[in-house]
Copies of this chain bind each other. A is one copy, B any other.
Amino acid sequence: MTERPPLDDIDLKILSELQKDGRIRINELALRVGITAPPCLRRVRTLRSSGVIQAIRATLDERLLGYEVMTFVLIQLESQRLAAIEAFEAAVTAEPRFLQCWRISGDADFMLKCVAPDVNDMRRQLLQFAGLPNVRKIRSFPVLGVSKDAPLPIPGSLATPNPA
């Protein structure tokens, strides 16, 4: 599940295509990468079960679903002991509007991506977290817009990238 599978050019092309369109038909995919459907299907399955393809998911428009504000938040804890870290992670996990959370180094311990219907909701949410016992410092960075959102560049591939 997390070994290092050897990826040939065809695999890389498959990954590139699936990153652009995760619902592409196996036939069409096979055509684009230059093989027939059966081996193509096998490769896709292997790529999924080996974990190279983590998931194929729909990306939704937050605004159209009522989340008007998005914010990045840097959080520094008082203590970096394992128990403190895990308690904080549990609190984050319990809050559905904290979409993503990364453990980081540098001048903070966590980076969060957070959505809310409006600024008041967001404020309440963040104040609540600022009040957790182990939280020393919170800095937030409201998102004004997306400048770039590109797929992972596929290593040796001649894959057409998907800029901006």
A residues near B (Cβ < 8 Å) are: 2, 4-5, 7, 15, 18-23, 50-62, 64-67, 72, 74, 89, 92-93, 96-108, 110-111, 115, 139-155, 161, 163-164
Contacts and interface: CB of A to CB of B under 8 A. Distances in A.
A144 B103 contact: yes
A58 B20 CA distance: 8
5 contacts: A56-B56, A57-B151, A93-B164, A98-B148, A107-B139
Contacts of A50: 64
A150 B19 CA distance: 19
Q: How many copies are assembled?
A: 2
A145 B98 CA distance: 16
Given A96-B161, A106-B140, A107-B139, A54 B59 contact: yes
A57 B22 contact: yes
> Interface centre among A21, A62, A89, A152, by most B CB within 10 Å?
A152
